[in-house]
A and B are shown apart, each in its own frame.
Chain A
Amino acid sequence: MDKERLERLGECLWKIPVQGAMRLPAYIFATEELVSEMDEKVYEQLSNVASLPGLVKGAMAMPDAHWGYGFPIGGVAAFDPDEGGIISVGGVGYDISCGVRTLLTGLTVDDVSPMIGPLIDRLFEHIPAGVGSEGRIRLTPERLDEVLVGGAVWAVEKGYGIQEDLEHIEENGRLPGADPGCVSDTAKKRQYRQVGTLGSGNHYLEIQVVERVFDQEKAAGFGLKEGDVVISIHCGSRALGHQIGTDYIQLLAKAANKYSIPIKERELVCAPIRSPEGERYYKAMACGVNCALANRQVLTHLVREVFSELLPRAEIRTLYDVSHNTCKIEKHLVDGKTKSLYVHRKGATRAFGPGREELPKAFRDLGQPVIIGGTMGTHSYILVGTDTGEELAWGSACHGAGRAMSRRQALKRWKGKKVIQGLAHQGILVRAASYRGAAEEAPEAYKDITKVIDATDRAGLAKKVARVRPLAVIKG
């Protein structure tokens, strides 16, 4: 991105001034290096978001921002329903509530290392992953409605988890307002066999070791210390979320036309929050969120089953579960007044600071654990939400490293088997449903996550707590 077109407000804060159709400015949180590497499309897409009605404060981009569908990936925007604010499909994304859950195991690397081979093999057998995989739970499209309303709460009621898990999930495991009547039969037919599947692409399950702690106090509060083994699950709402996005892009395109909202890009289509179309999309999107939360909950249960078989000493507890692609109704301070805003986070993680009532008691004085996944072979990070982040960006942070190289380029450069062998030499066991997938997800195809994390930390959006390193990975 051309820095000359930006106004620099701080070390890690840049502004796109109001111009053309923009109603408010746009802000980019990144170091000079990351801004230089960002595509020009981020500039264009952020400016488009800043032109939408009812936007509050401005459009925002996180340090890992890149070209997305309508919104940039790494885009954050809050809309005020009282000011004609809108809800947008592009502001949520296709994989609704795609996110990461990290589980504590109560074990150390010394406990797990001797068993790591059998453990990852058994997990790979037990956890459905990759193209065409089906879940272990048998539902009907009708029974799926219970999942869409209940989310992880449904899963725990059915025996796939414990009550304590729910407190450690955003929205306590269930986003209210979901109405399965707003979700198409096609979406339900696609999903009912996929509950409890990992998926494909960049989704994964990793066994990780806490390699370094940056903040002892917060880490202790999160139950983390160096040498501890944790497990992270990255996946989303699978086919259902995608079908909801596809269905509502058509529906909201008509709505945007009806309400005379000028749309620069087809995937930016939107409707006023307070319109039948906008309300309908929110209710469908909430189903997508609940589907993802249920999915990660069922996967947690499958992990527990494997550990109880192979390492029964393990005590698997949910550290936290974060979502990247959401629109949520949140209370925020606007010009000294508390307002309910519709906060869109597309490829961005909620990162609430201390004191927020949404946080479970265990984290209310510390701030929210913010889990940022890397790629197989690279580190992941656990950060903590801050008060500053709330003032700057509605309590939001980055969501990952972002690709440095396209999938096609990665395929040309690497062979999946070689990538897996190379990682094995580094002591990282990979089990992949597809060799092509492993090649596309080669660690070198991604940007350096450390730069994104450092920028997030320096911008004050969230603070580093711990760094984890993968020991073994399942790729979908």
Chain B
Amino acid sequence: MGMDRVGAKQVATLGTKSGYETFEHGADIGIRGYGESLEEAFSNAAMAMFSIMVSDLNSIRPERSVEIQCESFDLTGLLVAYLNQLLAESDINGLVFCRFSPQIDAERFVIRDAPKGGPIPHGGEALGVEVKGATFTLADVRKEGDRFYAQCVVDV
């Protein structure tokens, strides 16, 4: 298996320059965000990840906020660290995050955010599957044309 089996499907965009999607991976699932800025791509990657955990991310009310900061040694490392930090805060606070506004220092590889979210919903219809962690598999942050992409495989 390799990149040839990776096929993207748009799940929540209207053909704009910004959005998120999931992509194929053998045992787990890939997430990808894109946008006109690095921040938008990271924010959409986070949306893609939390969209796996609930059936309808739009139904989550952004009523609580948590402050986070993390750093890494490069942009890809920063993406993985950011997503994992979000998952940790989601677990610790019992929240599903649905609004992101990251600020990225792309030279020192530092990210700050105050994601907003609401309580994890109940019931088989509303719940998705738990994302245990973001991984370095197929992890990549890149710019193509005027679009930024941020992606990785998450372990479910």
Contacts and interface: CB of A to CB of B under 8 A. Distances in A.
A277 interface: no
A94 B132 contact: yes
Contact of B125 (A66, A186, A435): A435
A21 interface: no
Contact of A39 (B23, B26, B125, B128): B26
Contact of A190 (B9, B27, B53, B92): B92
A200 B53 CA distance: 10
A274 interface: no
A246 B128 contact: no
Interface string A235-246: 000010011011
Contact of A433 (B23, B124, B137, B139): B124
B55 A436 contact: yes
B77 interface: yes
A416 B25 contact: no
A432 interface: yes
Interface residues of B, number: 39
A131 B139 CA distance: 24
Given A94-B135, A242-B155, A408-B24, A437 B128 contact: yes
B156 interface: yes
A406 B5 CA distance: 10
Contacts of A416: 124
B57 interface: no
Interface string B33-57: 0000000000000000000011100
B18 interface: no
Interface string B52-67: 0111000000000000
B27 A66 contact: yes
Nearest to B76: A266
B24 A201 contact: no
B84 interface: yes
A128 interface: no
20 contacts: A39-B2, A66-B1, A66-B27, A67-B26, A186-B92, A199-B130, A200-B130, A242-B155, A243-B133, A246-B133, A250-B81, A266-B136, A406-B24, A407-B129, A416-B124, A434-B129, A436-B127, A436-B129, A437-B129, A440-B156
Given A39-B2, A41-B1, A132-B130, 19 more contacts: A40-B1, A69-B136, A94-B132, A94-B133, A95-B132, A131-B54, A131-B129, A189-B91, A201-B156, A239-B91, A243-B84, A246-B84, A250-B72, A402-B27, A403-B27, A409-B24, A435-B124, A435-B125, A436-B128
Interface of A: 39-41, 66-69, 73, 94-95, 130-132, 186, 189-190, 194, 199-201, 239, 242-243, 245-246, 249-250, 253, 265-267, 402-403, 406-409, 416, 432-438, 440, 476
Instruction: List 9 tightest A-B contacts by C-beta distance, closest first.
Output: A132-B120, A39-B1, A200-B130, A266-B136, A434-B127, A190-B91, A242-B133, A131-B130, A435-B124
